């Protein structure tokens, strides 16, 4: 396949009148000029990678916004979420994930890292096949056409000091031995699904201890020494205080001191970090997985992105709870939070890339590729052909020169400006439509009608 673009954002920057040759899902040639035999497009940019997703929470969006006179927090939200997920079957989980992933693809995400911790049946018992719920996620990704990095979650305790899990967490819990078997099973499953890979996600320092964390990482490394490792960390101030009380150190510092944190690791949120932790994270090569809309929705706080990027840190974005499924909104609020915090403008940019929108898009896409250990995140020779074609009619209403295009996309567009989406060399969305969107939407809507949170 060949595609020609009038404007294309390659890893070297904006280029004009370029033809890509795509073979077996990979960009095999890049040549100047418009090839008359190629498919003709206007503006092409790299696809975005979603570094953090809890798919089932897409069906929970809207259920938790009832006020309580300022007494709500992440922890009260979590109680309602447990009540919701207790009702879901494996078929429900697949229907929700399929709807979510179609929405992701249509909005410009071409790969998702699924932080998957809903392992067992509604009573907390093992399925006959440990990976039943994982298989539902694989199937949903296949039907949606999105690339998948599955991250089975190790979850054992309700708090620091090996506190017993509560009733709402019974569907998450595995012994270390059983978890390692689940990971092995997921590796075998991934061989059946194109454009997928597997890592692990120790849930958090409060949900696993050092022994289990070390054993899970060691097992994963035997399966694949480059497989990604994601972990929730320092999302809430209470979590930081509890970690200090238990370990005598802040969470990120404890992780840096006790684990070989490197580019395999993605630290999700890491909101409440001090200067030493921030600099240690930046120099480690690990990725900070920032989820601006969820962190705002839950009242988590603001990550010190400006300083972190100046120190050479890698970042990726995630939609987490899916209160929003839109990479543009995540990037917009990544920058806006910094502006509000510092009362300055255009903070996330460099002299080399003065366009904030371009800097954010390229940084997050590349960081997402690192966080998922995938050959994606930029358009270059030998890279996977994950790309987006912008809607020229929609973009014609804003500044259109290449140096302004991604600023217009990120900060000015309100409606979806992604017209076509290619993933692994295949068109998954054409003219803003996905082939399974109608049937998926109907099934998802019916599922929502069955959910009862009245008790």
Q: Which residues are CB-contacts of 67 (< 8 A; sequence separation ≥ 6)?
A: none
Taking the C-alpha atoms of residue 264 and residue 86, their distance in angstroms, rounded to an integer, is: 32
The DSSP code for 201 is E
Select which of 90, 92, 320, 391 is catalytic.
Answer: 320
Residues 6+ apart with CB under 8 A from 48: 108, 109, 110, 317, 327, 361, 364, 365, 368, 388
Instruction: Please tell me the distance from the alpha carbon of residue 106 to that of residue 109, in angstroms, as a whole number.
Output: 7
Alpha helical stretches, state H, 118-194: 132-144, 176-190
- CA atoms within 13 Å, Cβ hemisphere of 265: 26
Q: Is 320 a catalytic residue?
A: yes
* Number of Cβ within a 10 Å radius of residue 63: 16
- Measured CA to CA, the distance from residue 114 to residue 52 in angstroms comes to 6
Integer Rg of the chain from CA: 21
Tell me how far CA of residue 283 lies from CA of 221, 265, 271, 371, in angstroms: 22, 13, 17, 15
Q: C-alpha angle 68/61/335, rounded to 5°?
A: 90
Whether the CB-CB separation of 313 and 288 falls below 8 Å is answered with yes
Residue from 54, 230, 269, 420 carrying the catalytic annotation: 269
DSSP string, 34-76: --TTSEEEEEEEEPEEEEEE-GGGGGGTTSS----TT---HHH
Which residues lie below 8 Å from residue 99, measured CB to CB, with a gap of 6+? 58, 440, 441, 443, 444
Q: Is 269 a residue of the active site?
A: yes
The residues that are catalytic are: 269, 320
């Amino acid at each position: 396949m060949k595609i020609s673009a009038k404007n294309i954002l390659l890893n070297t920057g904006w280029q004009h009148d370029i033809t890509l040759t795509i073979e077996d899902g990979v960009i095999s040639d890049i040549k100047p000029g418009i090839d008359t035999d190629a498919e003709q497009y206007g503006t092409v940019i790299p696809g975005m990678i979603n570094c953090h997703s809890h798919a089932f929470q897409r069906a929970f969006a809207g259920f938790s916004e009832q006020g309580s006179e300022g007494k709500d927090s992440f922890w009260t939200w979590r109680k309602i979420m447990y009540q919701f997920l207790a009702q879901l079957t494996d078929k429900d989980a697949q229907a929700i994930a399929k709807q979510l992933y179609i929405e992701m693809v249509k909005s410009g995400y071409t790969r998702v890292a699924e932080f998957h911790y809903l392992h067992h049946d509604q009573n907390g018992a093992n399925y006959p096949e440990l990976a039943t719920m994982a298989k539902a996620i694989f199937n949903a990704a296949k039907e949606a056409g999105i690339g998948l990095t599955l991250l089975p979650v190790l979850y054992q305790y309700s708090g620091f000091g090996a506190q017993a899990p509560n009733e709402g967490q019974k569907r998450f819990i595995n012994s270390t031995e059983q978890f390692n078997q689940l990971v092995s099973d997921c590796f075998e499953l991934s061989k059946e699904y194109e454009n997928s890979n597997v890592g692990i996600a120790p849930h958090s320092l409060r949900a696993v201890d050092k022994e289990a964390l070390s054993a899970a990482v060691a097992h994963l490394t035997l399966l694949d020494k480059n497989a990604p490792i994601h972990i929730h960390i320092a999302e809430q101030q209470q979590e930081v205080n509890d970690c200090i009380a238990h370990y005598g150190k802040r969470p990120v510092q404890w992780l840096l001191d006790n684990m070989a944190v490197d580019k395999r690791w993605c630290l999700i949120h890491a909101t409440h970090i001090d200067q030493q932790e921030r600099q240690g994270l930046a120099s480690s090569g690990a990725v900070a997985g920032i989820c601006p809309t969820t962190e705002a929705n839950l009242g988590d706080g603001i990550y010190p992105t400006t300083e972190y990027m100046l120190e050479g840190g890698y970042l990726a974005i995630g939609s987490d709870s899916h209160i929003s499924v839109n990479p543009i909104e995540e990037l917009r609020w990544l920058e806006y939070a910094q502006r509000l915090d510092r009362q300055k403008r255009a903070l996330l940019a460099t002299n080399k890339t003065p366009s904030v929108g371009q800097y954010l898009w390229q940084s997050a896409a590349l960081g997402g590729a690192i966080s998922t250990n995938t050959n994606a995140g930029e358009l270059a020779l030998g890279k996977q052909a994950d790309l987006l074609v912008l809607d020229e009619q929609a973009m014609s209403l804003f500044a259109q020169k290449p140096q302004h295009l991604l600023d217009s996309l990120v900060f000015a567009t309100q409606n979806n400006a992604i017209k076509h989406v290619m993933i692994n060399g295949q068109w998954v969305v054409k003219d803003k439509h996905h082939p399974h969107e109608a049937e998926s939407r109907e099934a998802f809507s019916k599922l929502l009608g069955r959910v009862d949170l009245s008790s």
